Amino acid sequence: MKLLTKALEKKLLDNATKKDGVAYVKWFNPTGIGTWYVSEMDKNGVCYGLACMHEKEFGYFAKGELEALKLPFGLGIERDTWFDPTPLEKCKELA
């Protein structure tokens, strides 16, 4: 599965200047811990959002690193196709 559609990629790139604090994408590890709520992305694929693993932390992470992860059973990080845009603060409560 592609982590971003063209429309979502455009939204994240546009939001890198607006910085509205809304997560437009949710990525997750289908085999264990790890959820990323993405609010913005620069042209190099560096994203800003909320990373939830052992702790919940706002910060930067690289889309390319998540795409490169090799998970059990040949799986990779996936995008939640049912996720609706949600303020990052509210995502912190959801995770």
Q: What is the pLDDT of residues 60-94, one digit of tens each?
A: 999 999 999 999 999 999 999 999 999 999 998 87
Q: What predicted TM-score, i.e. pTM, was given to this entire model?
A: 0.95
Cβ–Cβ under 8 Å, residues 48 and 62 = no
pLDDT tens digit sequence for 18-69: 999 999 999 999 999 999 999 999 999 999 999 999 999 999 999 999 999 9
**Domain spans, the chain:** 6-94
Distance of CA 77 to the CA centre of its chain: 10
Q: Are 47 and 38 in contact (CB under 8 A)?
A: yes
